[in-house]
Structure 1
């Protein structure tokens, strides 16, 4: 994956991004009063190779002027019908409100659909109000079955 949105480069994660991606995610979680959990909910960021690359998922970073300012990812999951879960959609606060999140979600959906998946699941926390608004306005339906301790909401969308 390599595409642009305005002055932002969206590209595949590389091992050199490990620390920067983790810092972005940790910073955004902290902003919302949530905790970075490298041994639990965020272990996939510490080991992108195992959690995404070897199972047919993708992890993208968003760069602005050479600096990682956001992340987004998905991987196949067992629940649902031929399903994936979108994970780690985070943007630093100064880069929100420009349509980038909506563009990222559309790019993820298009990529996922082109790969033949039929359902997308997303888990999130109520504190992430902007994310919830984005998901709901993009056709994601609330459902049940949260699996991540830090999250209290789960959504699904049929493709």
Structure 2
């Protein structure tokens, strides 16, 4: 997984189960001990965290300590990027959105709301060109994201009292989601931000996050961006320790609700938490 993910469509060639039950995962800055190399996958090295987590780590995710070498193991290193070795379970013929080739593997997103690594050899019909780029939001995206929210929500009658369009954070989304337990991602085509969505703690409910402010301009719709963005948000939610993800929507947003249900969200009968969005009348929850 990279910060700027150029995603294209692909199809799973065959079924596959993950190799490791507890894959290694860590954040940038984590100390690592590299204990062995892999002849079959030279871009991967076996890493161990101070907490005892261990697994194969891509070479670009860590930096060796001064005087350390991969030719003289064990070697000390430090993570220079967030990393997760989770593999994605596959079913034959399943459609995926996939990132760039990284050592013979690709980070992928499924319509079921899952994310993880897939061997390139297990994929077929990979599109030549990326459909879009998905990345964490930057402060320079504030104006674009505010414009998306303010222009898309009225399409669905969500511009009256009790809707997210009136939230104070709309004018400064990057700062609003830079806090602990939150994350926001944007999707761009040809360098233009056309959509976004994120997660944040659900006020009043411990251990539950909320999928928030996920909207796309017309030029982004139909490319699979919704599938990828939900899976990216859910993956971030798992890494942040949430147990469930909640969302609110409203009657008439039928395509969005179908997307949520494909991603594993289940309809519930009443609102949760204290979002302040009393204009919404459809509620969903998903276990993580």
Q: TM-score range by the shorter chain?
A: 0.7 to 0.9
Provide the rounded CA distance (Å) in 1 between the counterparts of 2:243 and 2:264.
14
Pair 1:16–1:151, CA change in 2 (3 A): same
Identify unmatched segments of 5+ residues in structure 1.
Answer: none
Q: Who is 2:4 aligned against? A: 2
Residue 253 of structure 2 corresponds to residue 158 of structure 1: no
Compute the TM-score of the two structures, normalised by the length of structure 2: 0.50
More helix as a share of residues: 1
Residue 150 (structure 1) shift: 2.6
Q: CA deviation at 1:63?
A: 1.1
Name the stretch that deviates more: 143-152 or 39-48. Answer: 39-48
Q: Deviations over 1:35-91 (max 9, x none)?
A: 177997432222325532123201111111111100111111244451110101111
Count of aligned pairs between the two proteins: 159
CA drift of 1:123 comes to: 0.8
Name 1:102's counterpart in structure 2.
227
Residue number among 151, 155, 158 corresponding to 1:34 in the alignment: 158
The one of 63, 68, 82 equivalent to 2:207 is 82
Cα separation, 2, equivalents of 1:132 and 1:41? 22
Residues 125-150 of structure 1, C-alpha deviations (whole Å, 9 max, x = no match) = 21221111111222211121164123
Contact persistence 1:24–1:90 (CA under 8 A): yes
1:30 Cα deviation after fit: 2.0
Question: Structure 2 regions of 5+ residues with no counterpart?
Answer: 8-129
Alignment of 1:24 onto 2:148: yes
> Structure 2 residue aligned with 1:145, among 246, 271, 276?
271
Q: Which has the larger radius of gyration?
A: 2
Alpha-carbon distance in structure 2 between the residues aligned to 1:56 and 1:116: 9
* Structure 1 equivalent of residue 112 of structure 2: none
Q: Return the alpha-carbon distance in structure 2 between the equivalents of residues 9 and 33 of structure 1.
A: 29
CA contact (8 A) 2:267 2:285 kept: yes
* Counterpart position of 1:127: 252
User: 1:98, CA displacement in angstroms?
Assistant: 1.9
Counterpart for residue 65 of structure 1: 190
The change in CA–CA distance for 1:15 and 1:29 in structure 2 (over 3 A counts) is same
- Tell me what 1:14 maps to: 138
- Structure 2 CA distance for aligned equivalents of residues 113 and 29 of structure 1: 28
Give the 3 Å change call, closer, same or farther, for CA 101–75 of structure 1 in structure 2.
same
